[in-house]
Amino acid sequence: MMHTDYPVEAGDFTRAGEASADIKRRLRQLGVSTELLRRVAVASYELELNIVIHSVGGQLSLEVDSQCVRLSSSDRGPGIVDVAQAMREGYSTANDEARSMGFGAGMGLPNMRRNADVFTIDSVPGRGTDIQMLFELA
């Protein structure tokens, strides 16, 4: 199994997208299908940006075995009070700075769920949020 971690800083828009660019590069080297690559590209970018915009920092992980691609994130807070609401299209708590840069359309989590084969989110207010996505290779 191939495993790589990417630390992601809160509010660091200048580096946002670097982790997802590296994830795409690795998947190309591994030879996954272009259709899957596109889905992972969209999902990993949203995942990375979510940490940048909403969390106080965290990390992203990529794991690949011969069955599937697993993309996960774990941040150090603040956590989501109402996960069901956060999953709704168009709902966002992004601040003005993020919105002024074109983020905060409220499509991040829905886009992840749409592109992944399996999507799980686990959040504890005050502690942080863990997201896991599975993409089947077959």
Partner 1 sequence: MSTRFHSVRLDKDKCKGCTNCLKHCPTEAIRVRGGRARILDERCVDCGQCIRICQYHAKIAMTDPFDDIFKYKHRIALPAPSLYGQFRHLENIGIVLDALISIGFDEVFEVARAADIATRAIQERLRLPDRPRPLISSACPTITRIIQVRFPSLIEHIINVRQPVEIAAAMARQEYARKHNVSPDEIGVFFITPCAAKMTAIRNPIGQAKSDIDGAISMADVFARLVPHVTGAIQAKRVPTATPYGVGWANAGGEIHAATPRNSMSVDGVENVIRVLEEIEDGKLTDLDYFEGAACPGGCVGGPLTVEINYVAQNTIKTLRDALPEAHPSNAVTSAQMNAVPLHFDQKIEPNNAMRLDESIAGAIDRMEHMNAILERLPGYDCGACGSPTCESFAEDIVRGFCTEMDCIHLLKARLEEMALKVEDLAPDNPEPVRKPSAT
Q: Which two tokens stand for residue 43?
A: 């999902």
12 touches partner 1 (CB under 8 A)? no
Cα–Cα nearest to 110, from 134, 89, 81: 89
**Toward partner 1, which CB reaches closer, 14 or 29?**
29
Residues 6+ apart with CB under 8 A from 81: 125
Scanning 60-68, 82-90, 92-100, 122-130 for contacts with partner 1 by CB under 8 A, the matching segment is 60-68
User: How far does the chain reach from its first CA to its final CA, in angstroms?
Assistant: 16
Task: Compute the least distance from the CB of residue 115 to partner 1, in Å.
Answer: 9
Q: Does residue 100 contact residue 50 with C-beta atoms inside 8 Å?
A: no
Q: Does 65 bind partner 1 (CB under 8 A)?
A: yes
Give contact residues for partner 1 (rule: CB under 8 A).
1-2, 4, 17, 20-21, 24-26, 28-32, 34-35, 37-38, 41-42, 45, 64-66, 111, 137
